[in-house]
Amino acid sequence: AQTVTQSQPEMSVQEAETVTLSCTYDTSENNYYLFWYKQPPSRQMILVIRQEAYKQQNATENRFSVNFQKAAKSFSLKISDSQLGDTAMYFCAFMSPNAGNMLTFGGGTRLMVKP
């Protein structure tokens, strides 16, 4: 079974600064996908970024980038130029095609962007 751990329950960052959210996972699979989801107070789950395990290059989506360390089973999210609208819960998630494509979520990190 897969497990996903987010060790930072809460974080804060000043507007326009950079923040990194941590995530580690445990799996015996070799083929899998990792995701970061954002859940603002509206409770809508929004896909932020995806990383395929077979790709060495770290995924980037505008101000969001990841640091994927496969050997260390680490998958952190960096948010650059933080904006007030980035305030939300952030969930790290794992998916394996060999496990029915279900998502296993970490416990979440609450990010507050301060003006």
CB of 14 to other proteins, least distance (A): 25
57 contacts other proteins (rule: CB under 8 A): no
Question: Looking at 13-21, 35-43, 55-63, 67-75, which segment touches other proteins (CB under 8 A)?
Answer: 35-43
Residues forming beta bridges with residue 51, ordered by sequence position: 34
> Which residues have CB under 8 Å from 108's CB, separation 6+?
6, 9, 39, 89, 90, 91
Q: How many CA atoms lie within 13 A of 27 on its CB side?
A: 25
The footprint of other proteins (CB under 8 A) covers 33, 35, 37, 42-45, 47, 50, 52, 91, 95, 97, 100-108
